[in-house]
Amino acid sequence: MAGRAAEPEVIWARRERTGRGPRPAYTRADIAAAAVRIADAEGLDAVSMRRVAAELGCGTMSLYNYVARKEDLHELMVDAVGGEHELWEPGGDWRADMLRVAHQTRALMHRHPWLPRLMSPVYGFSPNSLRFVEHCLACLDPLPVSYGTRMELIAMLNAVVTMYVGNELATAERTRALPWSEEQENAVRAAYVGGRLASGAYPRLAAGITENPGPVDMEEVFERMLGRVLDGFDPGD
């Protein structure tokens, strides 16, 4: 009957400073930066409330004055690195501009390998996310399709980039905690898959591997993928 109201909390909807009481010792930016520093250096799993508090030099529970849940800390992190996106004046060639966006996103994720894991649709409303989408829309001004379609383009391009780079980085991020190296893990997996393919149960898969046994050029694949996504939206004038 008593208890608390249990109203939905969206961190961006609450102003950072309320006026009353002692001035907070840290800003949201400070906290986000500390968390990002830890995640970059030690992986996302090292980002705990205690660890971030220690990094800041304050008590663990003090963090809860700034964020209601750990998840909000993640939102702060995503927004913070989203601010690293360089926004330029679109040049009129929407295809070139969107390619540049995609490459920038990929670079961002390489700088912060934990980012793909935190890329969630529900985080799409942070200040820097809004800015980013607005910038994409500006790049798409010359594209003669509805806003709805433009949004779909942006969503799809981001999804594909996130998935692609997530794949690129997954093993690396994963094996960070494990007692063996990425190469060892890959070797064991390759040996296992090789054995399965040799069983003859997957003829096409085997043929695919045979066709191109060497390591794939990931840059090339990425480029091709982007091209295909954009093709799907090109009215072809």
Partner DNA sequence: TCGTAGTTACGTACCGCGTACGTAGTGCGC
Partner DNA sequence: GCGCACTACGTACGCGGTACGTAACTACGA
**Residues within the interface to its own copies (CB under 8 A):** 6-10, 12-13, 120-122, 125, 127, 130-131, 133-134, 137-138, 141, 146-148, 150-152, 156, 159-160, 162-164, 166-167, 170-171, 174, 178-180, 184-185, 187-189, 191-193, 195-196, 201-205, 207-208, 211-212, 216, 221, 224-225, 227-229, 231-233
- Residue 22 interacts, among its own copies, DNA, none and using kind-specific CB cut-offs from 5 to 8 Å, with DNA
- Report the C-alpha gap between 29 and 127 in whole angstroms: 13
Rg (CA), the chain: 22
- Report the C-alpha gap between 168 and 158 in whole angstroms: 15
**Which residue in the block uniquely carries the two structure tokens 């508090």?**
53
- Report the C-alpha gap between 226 and 223 in whole angstroms: 5
In Å, how far are 17, 37, 158, 186, 211 from 20, measured between CA atoms? 8, 31, 41, 56, 69
- Report the C-alpha gap between 187 and 195 in whole angstroms: 12
The span of 56-64, 82-90, 155-163, 195-203 binding DNA (CB under 7 A) equals: 56-64
- Residue 166 interacts, among its own copies, DNA, none and using kind-specific CB cut-offs from 5 to 8 Å, with its own copies
- Report the C-alpha gap between 236 and 232 in whole angstroms: 10
Smallest distance from its own copies to CB 16, Å: 14
Smallest distance from DNA to CB 52, Å: 8
Q: For residues 59 and 144, which CB has a smaller minimum distance to its own copies in the complex?
A: 144
The span of 57-65, 99-107, 204-212, 220-228 binding DNA (CB under 7 A) equals: 57-65
Q: For residues 58 and 197, which CB has a smaller minimum distance to DNA in the complex?
A: 58
# residues contacting DNA (CB under 7 A): 26
Residues 22-41 that bind DNA (CB under 7 A): 22-26
Instruction: Say how many CA atoms lie within 13 Å of 47 toward its Cβ.
Output: 25
- Residue 162 interacts, among DNA, its own copies, none and using kind-specific CB cut-offs from 5 to 8 Å, with its own copies
Residues 140-179 that bind DNA (CB under 7 A): none
Q: For residues 61 and 198, which CB has a smaller minimum distance to DNA in the complex?
A: 61
Tell me the one-letter amino acid at 143: L
Which stretches within 43-146 are classed as H helix? 49-56, 70-82, 94-111, 115-118, 127-139
SS3 of the chain: helix, strand, coil, percent, to 5: 65, 0, 35
Contact call for residue 202 and DNA (CB under 7 A): no
For DNA, the binding residues (CB under 7 A) are 17-26, 46-51, 58-62, 64-65, 69-71
